[in-house]
Structure formats: C-alpha cells, structure tokens
Amino acid sequence: MSTKLRVTVWGENVHEKKDPVVAKIYPNGMHGCIAAALGTDAQLTVRTATLDQPEHGLTKEVLDNTDVLTWWGHAAHGKVEDAIVDRVQERVLQGMGLIVLHSGHYSKIFKRLLGTTCSLTWREAGEKERIWVCNPGHPIAQGIDKYFEIDQEEMYGEPFAIANPDEVVFISWFQGGEVFRSGCTFKRGNGKIFYFRPGHEVYPTYHHPTVQRVILNAVHWARPEGSRWIDSAPNVPADKAPEKIVARGPALHKPGEAGFH
Amino acid sequence: MSTKLRVTVWGENVHEKKDPVVAKIYPNGMHGCIAAALGTDAQLTVRTATLDQPEHGLTKEVLDNTDVLTWWGHAAHGKVEDAIVDRVQERVLQGMGLIVLHSGHYSKIFKRLLGTTCSLTWREAGEKERIWVCNPGHPIAQGIDKYFEIDQEEMYGEPFAIANPDEVVFISWFQGGEVFRSGCTFKRGNGKIFYFRPGHEVYPTYHHPTVQRVILNAVHWARPEGSRWIDSAPNVPADKAPEKIVARGPALHKPGEAGFH
Amino acid sequence: MSTKLRVTVWGENVHEKKDPVVAKIYPNGMHGCIAAALGTDAQLTVRTATLDQPEHGLTKEVLDNTDVLTWWGHAAHGKVEDAIVDRVQERVLQGMGLIVLHSGHYSKIFKRLLGTTCSLTWREAGEKERIWVCNPGHPIAQGIDKYFEIDQEEMYGEPFAIANPDEVVFISWFQGGEVFRSGCTFKRGNGKIFYFRPGHEVYPTYHHPTVQRVILNAVHWARPEGSRWIDSAPNVPADKAPEKIVARGPALHKPGEAGFH
Amino acid sequence: MSTKLRVTVWGENVHEKKDPVVAKIYPNGMHGCIAAALGTDAQLTVRTATLDQPEHGLTKEVLDNTDVLTWWGHAAHGKVEDAIVDRVQERVLQGMGLIVLHSGHYSKIFKRLLGTTCSLTWREAGEKERIWVCNPGHPIAQGIDKYFEIDQEEMYGEPFAIANPDEVVFISWFQGGEVFRSGCTFKRGNGKIFYFRPGHEVYPTYHHPTVQRVILNAVHWARPEGSRWIDSAPNVPADKAPEKIVARGPALHKPGEAGFH
C-alpha cells in the first residue's frame, strides 16, 4: 500500500451526457463531483473511471493500484462486462474497499457480493429526506450531527432485499412516509463494503457537504488493513500433512493432481 | 406448503457412472443413497434430480414444489446452466431451504449466494475425520454425541473462503493435522442455507448413520417458515405516498414509468 | 416440549395499579391484555406472571415449563431480583424464546443478553407511528401489509444502543420526524430473542390487532427447536482424550480436579 | 486519541506469586511478559495493571487514557469488583478495544459483553496445539504462516458457549483430538473485542514469538476508530421534534421529565 490511500471513483456517466438537467448539475459528471470532494483530503490520491472507457477504466493495473473503489451506476448496469465485474469482485475479496452509491444497489457487483436481488420501493417526487445516525461513534458517522437533511431526493423504501448487513449506520425518514436502511456495512473476503443511499442524478446531492463527508469517512473506514490473500484451493499431499499419516483406501485423484473447480 | 415437507435431492451423477469404485459404493447414485435415508422419515416426501435430466431435473414446477433442496456436485459444476442457477437462487430467496454437501462448496449456486470464492485446502488420503458439535442444543446437532467419526474421508482444511456464517455448528479435526468449519449456517433472503462438509465419493460417507442424521436434521431446520415474498422494486407514485406530498423539482422518470434494472 | 407451546406473559403491573389512565385502558393489566390475545390461538397455553408475585411469578417450575416468555417492564426494572434474571438468562441460553416489549429495552434481562446499554431517544406526544416491514417473507411479518399504523404512540428514536441484530424485521417512521429499528432478532445460546417496540402504557397499543398479530407471530418464531443443552465446562482427563496422549509437563490442577469458575 | 496507541495490560497476578512453576516462567508476571512484548512496538505506549492494586489498577483516569485493554485472569474472576467491570464495559462501548486472553473467557467482563456462559471443555496434559489461520488476509493474522504450533498447552475444546462471533480468525487442532475456535472477533457498541485462546500459566506461551505477534496485531486491529459516544436516552420534547407536531392524548411524564432507567 502506498502512503496515500488510492481511491478510484467510478461513474456510469450516461445521464450526465444525455439529460440536460443532470448535465447542468454535474458539468464534470457525478464522478467528477465526488472525486473533487474527496480530492480535498490530502491523505487521498483520487482518480476517476467511467463506463465508456476501455475496460470501463478498470484495467487490472488500475484496480491493482486502487485501495477503495466508489461505484455509481443506474441506467446501464447491464452494459458492465462480466469480466470486469469478476475483476472487481476479486479485488474486493483481497481487501479493496467498495462504496456503493444510490442506484448502485442494482449494480452487478453489489448483487454478486450480496447474493440477493437488492430490490426496494421508490418514488421520484423531490421530497425531503432526513438521514438519522444509528451509531454516533461509528467512524463513518464522524462529524455528523444526530441527523442531516437533503431537501430534495428520490425516495427509496423498505423492503430492501439485501443480505443481513453487519451494521446499519444510517436510516432515512422520508417526507412521504417511508423509511430505508440508508447506510449499511458488509464484509466479503477481506473487503469492507458500504452501501450509501442518497444520490439521485436530477438533484445536487453530491454537492451536499454532509453527503461528501459521509463518503469521505466511508473511504477511510473501508481502507485495506491486511494482506492480499490469494486463495487457491491447494492440494496438501499425504507426505506434506502436518501430522504423519499414510494414505489408504481408494482415491479419485492421482497424487499431486489438481482438483475440480 | 403441503403437510409433508417436500425434499429434492440433487446429484451430479457423473462419477457414479464413470468410476467403478464410486459405482460400487453407490449403485443407485449418491443422490439415491441420500434420498433413501431421508425417505425413512414419514414427515418428508423425497424425490431426486440429476444433471443429465432436462433442465437438470429442476424445472420450474419441481422447484415450486420443493421446500428443501440438497446439492451434491464435484466434477461438473461448470455444466450446470446459469438459467437453472438463477431459478434455484430465486427459490432460495423466497424461502426454500438449501443444503450444500461436500464438494458442492464450489457449485455455482453456493458461490453466488455467498459472494466469495469458497476455496479451501484438500487431501485425498483416506484419513480419519472427527466432527465436533459446537452447539449441542442446535436443531441440526440433535441426536448426535459430542462428536462423531468417519473412518476414511478426504481432508478439507482452512482457510475456507466463505462469507462469515451466521453460526458454526460443526468443526472437523483431521488425522493429518488440519481443521475445518464443517457445518455452517447462512441466510439469504428467507432461505436458510446449511453447508455440510463430509461426502467424498470414493468413501461410503452417505451410508454413515450420523451423516444421514445430520442431513435429516438440516432438512427439517431449513424448512420454509414464512411466505414466498416476490420482491419487485415497485414504484410508489407521489399520490400514493402514505403521507400527503406534492411532487416538486426535476424528474428522470415520467409518473408510473418503470425504473432501470 | 408439550404438544402445545407454553407461553408466559410477564408484566411489571405497576402503572396499571397506580395510574388511572393506564388502569382504564388495561383493567386486567397489560399482561392480561397480551395473554388474552395470545390465548385465542389454540396451539398455545398461556399464563401470566407479575413483579409482585413471589419470585416475580417466575419460579424454577414455571420457567422450566415455559417455551416462550414475553417481557414488559418500565418503572421498576431495578426491582427485578438478580437471581430471577439469572434464571431467565439460563433458560434463554437453553432455548426458551424471549419477546422483549417496548420499555423492556431497559430491562436487566435484555441488557444482560445484549451486553450494551440499550438506550434510545424518546418523546411522549401521542404522535402517529408507521411501522414498515423490512422483510415481508419473514415469519414474524406474516399477515401484515407493507406497513401498519398506530394512531398514538410514544416516540423511540435512533440511536438505539443495541448489539448488532441478526435481522431487522421492522423500522418505524414517526410523525415527529424520527426513525427506529422497531423489530430486531438476536440469538444467545439457543434462545431466539425478538425486540418489538410499540406498547407505551397510556395508549391502547396492545389492543391493536396488528400489534397482537406480531407478538403472536414472534411467539411461534421463537419456539425452542433443539434440546436443552446444559453447558458445564467439563474436564476431559488425558486418559479419556479421543486420541491417545500421555500427559507431560507441569500442571496446575490435579487429575480430575474441577477448574476455576 | 494520542499519537501513540495506549495499551493497558491487565493481569490477575495470583498464580505468579503462589505457584513456583508459574513464578519461574514469568518472574515479572504474565502481564509483565505481555507488556514487554508489546513494548517493542514504537507505536505503542504500554502500562500494566493488576488485581491487587487499588481499583485493580483500572481507575477512571487509567481507563480514560487506554485505547486497548488486554485481560488475563483465571483463579480470581470473582474478586474483580462489579464497579470496575461496569467501568470497563462503559469504555468498551465507547470504543476501547478489548483483547481477552485464555482463561479470561470466564471473566466477568467477557461474559457480560457476550451475554452467554462462555463455557468450554478442558484438559491440562501439556499436549501439542496447532493453531490454523482461517483468513490469511485478516489484520490479526498478518506475519503468520498457515498455522503455528505451541508444543505444550492446555486443551480447550468445543462446545465454546459464546454468542456467535463476527469472524473466526483461528481454529485450534489438539493432539488429544479436540478442536476450538481460538480467535474470535466481536463488536459491542463501538468496542472491538478479540478473544485469543492460548496462555495457560504453567507453560511459557506468552514467550512464544507468534503468540506475541497475534496479540500485537490484535491490539492494532482493536484501536478506537470513531468518537466516544456517550449514550444517554435523551428526551426530545414535542416542540423540539424535527417535524412540527402538537402533543395530544394522555402522558405519563411531565414535559422535560427524565424517563425511567
């Protein structure tokens, strides 16, 4: 690991180019806005990557040099190539942090790591969202008051069809009457995963200082802490067993032969 | 749910036909042996399904009428069609129990539900395995002493690259010096999942009465308990919000339009 | 286990006797109201127990014959004797279900099983509470729509200082703007624990049919499933080890001597 | 938090003074041996505290200035005053790390945080223990090979009656045939807790370089990461609610009155 934490901000970058409302709010893309906010922290080196780049900007070299990846996608989840999803998953299992934002709940990588559909209910009415802190001492909640508000947001409501999270850090209250587990932590392999709800593209959510603070906190929280263990299902032949044993009985594999994968 | 618990025993059924050692131990297939053991319980209706059948024997009709599915595969994980894996996953999320046996740790369905590689170390030396009960009061451990032994088994050793289990019910001690989390519970959606380690095909493991007892206990433990919730990401239009709100600001979707998936 | 599920409804029974508002709503005590609701299920045998009875009505004989215990207390948590709390904890670890209601979050037994302070924020303003189902397929949520409302309730708000729950089944939305994890599951030993938020004594909450339904569902969900394992830290002398070993080196204990507790 | 991580090594210090075998192995006490090993890390400031000191050496001032506490006790768990256990628990919930060693499984503080009996089986025969790494990428397992061995140790065997751990980092294989979850992580409040099995006082276990390495890794892993949140069950009066509401209906408490604890 370098001395600085290396962050890659991934953005789908579709609506920013097609939809004038979105383009006006995010002239440098949503990824550009998020990267700029993270870039104010001198402990981080931040780069961006987008769907339209070769390998979606997530080459092996880029991911090998990424400590934490943030992910925003919405309209084009299906266009993300499976081979790239494989590569991201492998790095998460090795310990790379992953911050999944808003509509990224339906991204291939999030569904693959959780094993569930990740569905929810929704409404696009520009209503008020109040996000409550469930654990004020949690690293991701530092510098935030008891709650913060976003004046206009899309509503996401329960049931949120996720695998049970390790911890619920935020829960949202919506003006229209719904609630949602808006900040959830998970671990897969050695990768720390944080899902954070806000961020509908037609509102200036990623310009909101508290939203930026949460993402920054989450990036630090999700930093890799151990080594990059590459698991490989190694065969341990009988003569290399920790205790002395003599192989006996029938066998499917010849000594030293690889197993089925 | 019918009054009887409906169990489908899935078997890859490859080595039973190719390898004379396996064929001799399991003349009716490993699935046949497991199904016969479960069939002695009058509370169950048991059927089998195998890879070589149309749709691998797991048609929509079969799965719709399955409360608990057991899964054994080894050499041909890659031949299981993704569409069938999708179907099994959907039923697990709806509440169907899933018992994954031995080399099924590398099956597509287990890896998909867990989100990890599920790798481990292994040795085929016909050594002794002693399986310890970590929680004698657990339903899956009923009728079993402090431990039970299998005279000859393949060794599976840690690290076992799984998502953290909800509970570890069994841990194995191997003569050659390794250990393994041999009985682990998970939940995805409303489906209860149990991984149970023993069952290498060249040994008569599924004839072992205690192994049969564990699988029977697990089938009962994994029975569906709630309803089959079909999640669907419904839109809740502003005029149907629980609290009266007026939509305001820009929007990406027209009222009533479906979201992106 | 008898063929019927044996439920004991424990009530503090203090405000019902002191406060005319409470007495009017619950002339037979809150425990009486809850017990009557559960009593309509022919699969249950229901009895009540209260603080003012000898041993708070929770004698060894009563607890030995209780499959699921429900607990409501508020003003007199400190008057519950530690010896009785020990006894309840022991039975939970053995597999007795425990349903903790409303202000029972501060009961000795709940705090002891969770290891945390279980604090929260609160407001007594008779405001509307809307309780959302986070997992419609969960056994505790059966027969309930997407949400249900209680016209007047006390507000409990996050942060709720609990150990991370296994699953969050319900989340509340309050008219005053707060949210709360209102239905949480835990497991300690073999005992299933469910915390359910509603039930402030000055409102007729336990007369609400959906609240009654949730408690009934939870009682069924929390039923004991395995055996009553009594853990005892047994010594296994060297000559009784599963593998033949010869004791060597210094020792603190003489052979067969009990360990420190 | 100071720039250095402040560690307090707590030792019961009973057998070191009474038993000549123990005194010879640990002339400065077991706590002295552990503190010396941790003291080689320039990132730590290490002090010790023992049962026989006033307030067991754990005054409010000491705990307020402790980031991570390690705990070894065996013969005198009952002599630890409840008021000191309260104080340690409060600091753990605030985020202080806690490393519980060997027979500390029966300490008041560990049982209180877990809510279970923490019992196990045991044998004092000086047998070989082989400790396997379940997750080689975990921070606590860094610098350790696939396994390490301790030539002579007390056996601890399953069932280990703990609340389900967040992660199992180590599992032990014993020469006499047992297994044990030897390295387990938990979280209560914001405190990270690690239980580590080895360390029977009649063997030189805490002189073992790999055992020292694990404790050092665990101390770094358990460092506080967020703020010291003091939860306090605050009342939020109706006129301070985030949404405008008017209190209605009966009430138990007068406006602004404290709740029951």
B240-258, pLDDT tens digit by residue? 999 999 998 888 877 767 7
- Is residue B250 packed enough to be buried (19+ CB in 10 Å), middle (13-18) or exposed (0-12)? middle
The answer, yes or no, to whether residue A1 has pLDDT greater than 60, is no
- Please state whether beta strands A179-188 and A167-174 pair in parallel, antiparallel, or not at all (unpaired): antiparallel
Q: Which residues of C51-89 are buried (b: 16+ CB within 10 A; e: fewer)?
A: beeeebbbeeebbeebbbbbbbbbbebeebeeebbebbb
Bridge partners for C149 per DSSP: C130
- Please state whether beta strands B121-133 and B167-174 pair in parallel, antiparallel, or not at all (unpaired): antiparallel
Predicted local distance difference test score (pLDDT) of residue A261: 67
- Work out the minimum CA distance from C181 to partner chain A, whole angstroms: 9
d(CA A174, CA B241): 10
Q: Give the three-class secondary structure for D185.
A: strand
Q: CA separation (Å) from A239 to A107, A255, A257, B124, B125? A: 46, 10, 14, 11, 10
d(CA D178, CA D33): 28
d(CA A64, CA A66): 6
Under 8 Å between Cβ of A58 and A19: no
- Cβ-based contacts under 8 A for chains A and C: 56
In A, what residues contact D, Cβ < 8 A?
Answer: 94-95, 130, 135-139, 141-142, 147, 166-167, 173, 187, 189-190, 221, 225-229, 242
Residue contact B137–C226, C-beta within 8 A? yes
Q: Which of A142, A225, A227 sits opposite D227 (nearest CB)?
A: A142
Q: Which of B112, B178, B202 sits opposite A252 (nearest CB)?
A: B202
Predicted local distance difference test score (pLDDT) of residue D85: 98
Residue contact D252–C202, C-beta within 8 A? yes
Name the strands in the sheet holding C121-133, side by side, starting at the edge strand that comes first in the sequence. Answer: C44-50, C5-11, C68-72, C97-101, C191-196, C179-188, C167-174, C121-133, C147-157
Of residues D130 and A253, more confidently modeled: D130
Residue contact D120–C252, C-beta within 8 A? no
Predicted local distance difference test score (pLDDT) of residue D1: 42
The answer, yes or no, to whether residue B260 has pLDDT greater than 80, is no
Average the pLDDT over D36-57 and give the result.
98
Furthest C-alpha separation in chain C:
73
Model confidence over D163-222: pLDDT tens digits? 999 999 999 999 999 999 999 999 999 999 999 999 999 999 999 999 999 999 999 999
- Work out the minimum CA distance from D149 to partner chain B, whole angstroms: 11
Residue in D34, D21, D87, D62 with CA at minimum distance from that of residue D214 = D34
Model confidence over B57-81: pLDDT tens digits? 999 999 999 999 999 999 999 999 9
* Chain B neighbors of D172, CB-CB under 8 A: 179
- Name the closest residue on chain C to residue A167, using Cα atoms: C164
Residue contact B249–A152, C-beta within 8 A? yes
Residue contact A133–C159, C-beta within 8 A? yes
Residue contact D250–C15, C-beta within 8 A? no
- Name the closest residue on chain B to residue D159, using Cα atoms: B134
- Work out the minimum CA distance from A5 to partner chain B, whole angstroms: 25
Chains contacting B (3 or more CB pairs within 8 Å): A, C, D
CA angle A39, A41, A43 (to 5 degrees): 110
Under 8 Å between Cβ of B10 and B69: yes
Please give the single-letter amino acid code of residue D24. Answer: K
Number of H helices, E strands in chain A: 7, 9
- Grade residue B176 by pLDDT with cuts at 50, 70 and 90: very high
Which element (helix H / strand E) includes A83? helix A82-94
Tokens of D208: 């073992």
Predicted local distance difference test score (pLDDT) of residue A254: 76
* Chain D neighbors of C163, CB-CB under 8 A: 115, 163, 187-188
Interface with B, mutate which of A124, A130, A188, A205 (most B CBs under 10 A)? A124
- Work out the minimum CA distance from C190 to partner chain D, whole angstroms: 10
Residue found under tokens 């019992």: D119
- Name the closest residue on chain A to residue C138, using Cα atoms: A159
d(CA A54, CA A71): 17
State the angle between helix axes of C29-39 and C209-221 in degrees (0 to 180), rounded to the nearest 10.
70
Tokens of C121: 């924020």
**B33 Cβ contact partners less than 8 Å away, ≥ 6 residues apart:** B26, B206, B207
d(CA B206, CA A218): 47
d(CA D7, CA D29): 17
Q: Which of A137, A187, A229 sits opposite D136 (nearest CB)?
A: A229
Average the pLDDT over A237-252 and give the result.
90
* Chain A neighbors of C130, CB-CB under 8 A: 177
d(CA A62, CA B176): 42
Average the pLDDT over D208-237 and give the result.
94
- Name the closest residue on chain A to residue D167, using Cα atoms: A187
pTM (whole model) above 0.90: yes
d(CA C233, CA D74): 14
Under 8 Å between Cβ of C42 and D227: no
- Grade residue B1 by pLDDT with cuts at 50, 70 and 90: very low
Predicted local distance difference test score (pLDDT) of residue C208: 98
Count of other CB atoms within 10 angstroms of residue B60: 11
Q: Give the three-class secondary structure for A33.
A: helix
Predicted local distance difference test score (pLDDT) of residue C261: 67
- Work out the minimum CA distance from A186 to partner chain D, whole angstroms: 11
First-residue to last-residue Cα distance in chain D: 31
Please give the single-letter amino acid code of residue D67. Answer: D
Predicted local distance difference test score (pLDDT) of residue D115: 98
Model confidence over A166-177: pLDDT tens digits? 999 999 999 999
Name the strands in the sheet holding D44-50, side by side, starting at the edge strand that comes first in the sequence. Answer: D44-50, D5-11, D68-72, D97-101, D191-196, D179-188, D167-174, D121-133, D147-157
Q: Which of C126, C235, C241 sits opposite D248 (nearest CB)?
A: C126
Compute the radius of gyration of chain A from its Cα atoms: 21
In D, what residues contact A, Cβ < 8 A?
Answer: 94-95, 130, 135-139, 141-142, 147, 166-167, 187, 189-190, 221, 225-229, 242
* Chain D neighbors of C243, CB-CB under 8 A: 175-177
d(CA C26, CA C50): 14
Under 8 Å between Cβ of D50 and D11: yes
Beta strands of chain D (E only): which ranges? Answer: 5-11, 44-50, 68-72, 97-101, 121-133, 147-157, 167-174, 179-188, 191-196
DSSP 8-state secondary structure symbol assigned to residue B56: G
- Is residue C98 packed enough to be buried (19+ CB in 10 Å), middle (13-18) or exposed (0-12)? buried
- Work out the minimum CA distance from B40 to partner chain D, whole angstroms: 30
- Cβ-based contacts under 8 A for chains B and C: 47
Under 8 Å between Cβ of C156 and A156: no
Cα dihedral C143/C148/C151/C152 (nearest 10): 90
Predicted local distance difference test score (pLDDT) of residue B90: 97
pLDDT in tens, chain C (261 residues): 458 999 999 999 999 999 999 999 999 999 999 999 999 999 999 999 999 999 999 999 999 999 999 999 999 999 999 999 999 999 999 999 999 999 999 999 999 999 999 999 999 999 999 999 999 999 999 999 999 999 999 999 999 999 999 999 999 999 999 999 999 999 999 999 999 999 999 999 999 999 999 999 999 999 999 999 888 888 999 999 999 999 988 888 777 677 776
Q: Which of D119, D188, D260 sits opposite C231 (nearest CB)?
A: D119
Query: Is the ipTM of this structure higher than 0.90?
Result: yes
d(CA B180, CA C124): 52
d(CA C156, CA B247): 29
- Please state whether beta strands D68-72 and D5-11 pair in parallel, antiparallel, or not at all (unpaired): parallel
Average the pLDDT over D131-139 and give the result.
97
Q: Give the three-class secondary structure for B88.
A: helix
Chains contacting A (3 or more CB pairs within 8 Å): B, C, D
* Chain B neighbors of D118, CB-CB under 8 A: none
Q: Give the three-class secondary structure for A194.
A: strand
Q: Which of D120, D203, D252 sits opposite C249 (nearest CB)?
A: D203
Residue found under tokens 């019927």: C4
Tokens of D124: 């004092």
Of residues A249 and A154, more confidently modeled: A154
Residue in A29, A196, A234, A12 with CA at minimum distance from that of residue A98 = A196
Predicted local distance difference test score (pLDDT) of residue C1: 42
- Work out the minimum CA distance from A179 to partner chain C, whole angstroms: 6
d(CA B53, CA B13): 10
d(CA D34, CA D55): 21
Average the pLDDT over B11-29 and give the result.
95
DSSP 8-state secondary structure symbol assigned to residue D31: H
Among A206-220, A243-257, B194-208, D202-216, which stretch is predicted with the lowest mean pLDDT? A243-257
Residue contact C137–B190, C-beta within 8 A? yes
d(CA C94, CA C230): 7
Under 8 Å between Cβ of A253 and B156: no
d(CA B24, CA A250): 12
- Name the closest residue on chain D to residue B158, using Cα atoms: D134
Residue in B158, B152, C251, C132 with CA at minimum distance from that of residue D200 = C251
Residue contact A137–D227, C-beta within 8 A? yes
Torsional sign, CA C9, C13, C19, C20 = positive
First-residue to last-residue Cα distance in chain B: 31
Residue in A38, A112, A102 with CA at minimum distance from that of residue A71 = A102
Under 8 Å between Cβ of D74 and D15: yes
